[in-house]
């Protein structure tokens, strides 16, 4: 069975996470994981970029420890590693998401979604 490699929690760094979240496409992926189902296939993301660029952005997030990816049949399932991030880098992901909420229209990120 094919699997993805993910960094162990102790290998997740503030520099790696901030670098991964510096890109608006990657923040959009994270926002969608927060506001939608907690596990989503790559095809559920409507991104304004090609498939190869999407693959790149998901890989950057995975290698930084922000998301977890696993195969389910032929689909790649994506989930946010929220608890790992909150434990490893307290307050960081919540601050990034709060900032996104403040600068993104209410239609893109509902205020009732827990961060």
Strands lying side by side in the sheet with 67-72: 39-41, 75-80, 67-72
Number of domains in the chain: 1
Q: Which two tokens stand for residue 74?
A: 């032929």
In a domain, 28, yes or no: yes
73 within some domain: yes
Output the domain CATH number for residue 32.
1.10.10.10
Residue 65, phi then psi, degrees to nearest 5: 90, 10
Q: How much is the average pLDDT of 87-100?
A: 95
pLDDT at 44: 96
Least confident of 14-18, 68-72, 81-85, 97-101: 97-101
Diameter of the chain measured on Cα atoms: 42
pLDDT tens digit sequence for 57-88: 999 999 999 999 999 999 999 999 999 999 99
Of the chain, the percentage scoring pLDDT greater than 70 comes to 90
Q: Is residue 93 one of the residues assigned to a domain? A: yes
The dihedral over CA atoms of 62, 53, 114, 37, expressed in degrees to the nearest 10, equals -90
Contact 93, 82 (CB under 8 A): yes
- 3 forms bridges with which residues in the sheet? none
In a domain, 110, yes or no: no
pLDDT in tens, 36-62: 999 999 999 999 999 999 999 999 999
Query: Residue 60 is part of which domain span?
Result: 9-99
């Amino acid at each position: 069975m094919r699997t993805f490699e993910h960094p162990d929690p102790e290998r997740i760094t503030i520099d790696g996470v901030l670098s991964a979240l510096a890109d608006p496409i990657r923040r959009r992926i994270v926002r969608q994981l927060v506001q939608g189902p907690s596990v989503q296939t790559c095809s559920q993301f409507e991104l304004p970029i090609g498939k190869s660029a999407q693959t790149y952005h998901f890989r950057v997030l995975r290698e930084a420890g922000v998301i977890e990816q696993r195969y389910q049949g032929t689909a790649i399932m994506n989930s946010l590693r929220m608890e790992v991030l909150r434990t490893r880098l307290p307050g960081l992901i919540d601050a990034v998401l709060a900032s996104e909420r403040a600068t993104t229209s209410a239609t893109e990120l509902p205020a009732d979604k827990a961060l």
